[in-house]
Amino acid sequence: MTFKGISIACSFTTFGLYAVLILSLFYFFRTETLWDALFSERTLFSIRLSVVAATISTFLSVLIAVPSAFALSRYDFAGKKAVDTILELPMIVSPAALGAMLLIFFNNPLGLWIQDHGVQFVFTFYGIVLAQFVTVCGVSTRLIKAAMDEIPVRYEAVARTLGASPGKAFLTITLPLSRRGIVAASILSWAKALGEFGATITIAGSMAMKTETLPIAIFMRLASAEIEGTVVLILILVSIGLSILYIVRILSRGDSYA
């Protein structure tokens, strides 16, 4: 077999692995269960909770990620390497550990003070948003930075010689040029937040009709041996995820500034 053949075979092996996992869901799929599970109050609550929490956490993380990514992409500053490295924390620490770190934080004096005088995070909706935010903030910063790295610095330099202040150059040049990257990063972050499980269950728990997000609902149904219901929820999650990836792929096409 040629090298080309081997490499193509490897790519199909990966595809096959995931395809088999998805197809195997249909072994337990029942149409009648689909409608029952899909339109049950509990499922609809989980979907709504997951969508709302993921939207808020994504919005907050992109709000922080855009200026952070610009700073990391354009400026040299003390501590830049430390900031850049810690962005990977959610990727190297397991989600459960990340959730545990949050829980431990809210049990130290500062965390307790925040809970007493500010917002209650533990076992609440805010805890879900916080867990998702912590999980996706580093990722969205990394993705947006990659989009900004693609834009030549000369555009901003020229904009400044034409009278734009650094802020105006950012708003009129860098931001519009990285728009696709920011949108793609937002969608990916949203998808990741939607599927977040480990950190969420650790800090917010798994209370039905209160903190039961879609991934937690899957876990709970599986724990109570409701396989057919589990399959429906997984299919919902997979459908949303694959649709998102397809949209991101379309958005990522085209722009080249070299």
Partner 1 sequence: MLEVVDLSARAGGFVLGKVSLTVQPSSCHVILGPTGSGKTLLLESVIGLRKPQEGKVILEGNEITGLPIERRGLSYVPQDLALFPHMTVRENILYPVRMRGGTQDIENGIVRELVDSLGIRHLLDRSVRNLSGGERQRTALARAMASGCTYLVLDEPLSALHESLKKELWYLLKDLQRRYDLAVLMVTHDLEEAFFLGDTVSVVLEGRVRRQGTKEDVYEHPASVEVARFLGIRNLFHVEKEGGTGDSPLVYCQDLRTTLKLSPHAGKWNPTSTSSFAVGIRSENVAILMPGELTSETHNVIEGTIEDTYASGALVTLMATGRGSSTSVEAALPRSMARRFALAKGHRVLLHLPEESLFVIDPDSREDLS
Answer for which of 8, 168, 224, 252 binds partner 1 (CB under 8 A) is: 168
Q: Would you count residue 171 as binding partner 1 (CB under 8 A)?
A: no
| Minimum CB–partner distance for residue 190 and partner 1 (Å) | 24
Phi/psi of residue 238, each to 5°? -65, -40
Helix or strand run (H / E) with residue 78: none
Q: How far apart are CA 220 and CA 235, in angstroms?
A: 16
Going from the C-alpha of 22 to that of each of 99, 110, 237, 251, the distances in angstroms are: 28, 44, 11, 25
Q: Is 103 or 182 the residue whose CB approaches partner 1 more closely?
A: 182
Q: Is 172 or 206 the residue whose CB approaches partner 1 more closely?
A: 172
Going from the C-alpha of 88 to that of each of 75, 127, 197, 217, the distances in angstroms are: 20, 21, 18, 28
Q: Is 75 or 257 the residue whose CB approaches partner 1 more closely?
A: 257
Q: Is 139 or 144 the residue whose CB approaches partner 1 more closely?
A: 144
| Minimum CB–partner distance for residue 176 and partner 1 (Å) | 5
Q: Which residues of 127-147 are buried (b: 16+ CB within 10 A; e: fewer)?
A: bbbbbbbbbbbbbbbbbbbeb
Q: Site mask, partner 1, residues 199-238, x = CB under 8 A?
A: ----------------------------------------
- SS3 category, 29: coil
| Minimum CB–partner distance for residue 160 and partner 1 (Å) | 4
Answer for which of 176, 208, 249, 250 binds partner 1 (CB under 8 A) is: 176
Which 138-167 residues touch partner 1, going by CB under 8 A? 152, 154-155, 157-166
| Minimum CB–partner distance for residue 193 and partner 1 (Å) | 29
Q: Is 109 or 254 the residue whose CB approaches partner 1 more closely?
A: 254
Q: Is 27 or 257 the residue whose CB approaches partner 1 more closely?
A: 257
**Helix %, strand %, coil % for the chain, to 5?**
80, 0, 20
| Minimum CB–partner distance for residue 254 and partner 1 (Å) | 10
Contacts 24+ apart (CB under 8 A), 37-44: 37/228, 37/229, 37/232, 37/233, 38/232, 38/236, 41/209, 42/208, 42/209, 42/212, 42/217, 43/217, 43/232, 43/233
Residues that bind partner 1 (CB under 8 A): 152, 154-155, 157-166, 168, 172-173, 176-177, 257
